């Protein structure tokens, strides 16, 4: 084993992610990575004290919704992953905003985290197809990100500043999951349902009288959409 490989085995890294698909993918991947790896899934666990104790060479954030303490950003190199070709599409709900805009593919960008959201320099970008349900895409992205994490930890590429026109996405609100009755065409309706079909995401829905109908697992076949439907009473119904 070379000196570089020996040094790599002694280094500590943290992966911090909150989604179940990240937990599953990294539970399988991390044992094969060189180095000493720690996985954090609870935001309450990722404290300044933990970082000071472990002294990680890098912290990777595949999917993290909480604000990172400024002191953590100063203590070590932090890397996040964004599902757009930055600087295009900085901001919230990238997957949903991409599909709503008609994109069929994107890239996963690995960024050095800075004070400004999604504005840091880029380590690398890897293509990501956008076919399938949202959760299927998230699982696909998690597998790609696992490979990116290993590559960045091992090779330490120097991140380069973002280049191009900046565009920003807005984080979607739950009420935007409502199906617009004037939506033009089955393809748009299909895309609307599939882009919201993931655990912990507000599903596509309509309201009919006292009922709320939520749609999942859509399939577009022969000029029709086949989907699962969950019917509940509206919350404001006695």
Total tally of structural domains belonging to the chain: 2
What is residue 140's predicted lDDT score, i.e. its pLDDT? 97
What is residue 2's predicted lDDT score, i.e. its pLDDT? 61
Beta strands in the chain (DSSP E): 12-17, 36-40, 58-63, 77-82, 90-91, 105-112, 122-129, 168-169, 204-208, 211-221, 224-233
What is residue 237's predicted lDDT score, i.e. its pLDDT? 59
Indicate the SS3 state at residue 157.
Answer: coil
Could you tell me if 216 and 149 lie in one domain? no
pLDDT-based confidence at 9, cuts 50/70/90? confident
Could you tell me if 205 and 146 lie in one domain? no
**Which of 145, 169, 193 is the last residue in one of the domains?**
169
CATH number at residue 193: 3.10.25.20
Look up the domain containing 107 and give its range: 3-169
% of the chain at pLDDT higher than 90? 88
**Contact assessment for residue 28 and residue 57, using Cβ atoms and an 8 Å cutoff:** no
pLDDT tens digits, 12-63: 999 999 999 999 999 999 999 999 999 999 999 999 999 999 999 999 999 8
């Amino acid at each position: 084993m070379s000196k570089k490989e020996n040094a790599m085995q002694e280094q500590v890294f943290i992966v911090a992610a909150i989604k179940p698909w990240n937990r599953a993918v990294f539970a399988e991947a991390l044992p094969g990575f060189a180095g000493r790896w720690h996985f954090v899934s609870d935001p309450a666990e990722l404290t300044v004290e933990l970082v000071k104790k472990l002294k990680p060479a890098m912290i990777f954030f595949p999917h993290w919704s909480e604000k990172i303490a400024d002191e953590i950003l100063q203590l070590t190199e932090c890397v996040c992953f964004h599902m757009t070709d930055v600087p295009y599409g900085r901001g919230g709900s990238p997957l949903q905003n991409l599909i709503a805009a008609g994109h069929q593919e994107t890239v996963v960008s690995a960024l050095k985290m800075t004070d400004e959201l999604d504005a840091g320099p880029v380590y690398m970008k890897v293509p990501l197809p956008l076919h399938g349900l949202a959760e299927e895409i998230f699982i696909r992205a998690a597998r790609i990100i696992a490979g990116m994490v290993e590559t960045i930890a091992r090779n330490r590429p120097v991140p380069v500043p973002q280049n191009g026109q900046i565009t920003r996405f807005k984080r979607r609100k739950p009420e935007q999951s409502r199906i617009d009755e004037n939506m033009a065409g089955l393809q748009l309706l299909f895309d609307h349902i599939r882009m919201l079909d993931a655990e912990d995401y507000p599903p596509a829905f309509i309201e009919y009288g006292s009922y709320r109908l939520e749609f999942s697992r859509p399939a577009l076949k022969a000029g029709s959409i086949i989907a699962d439907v969950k019917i509940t009473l509206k919350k404001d119904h006695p």
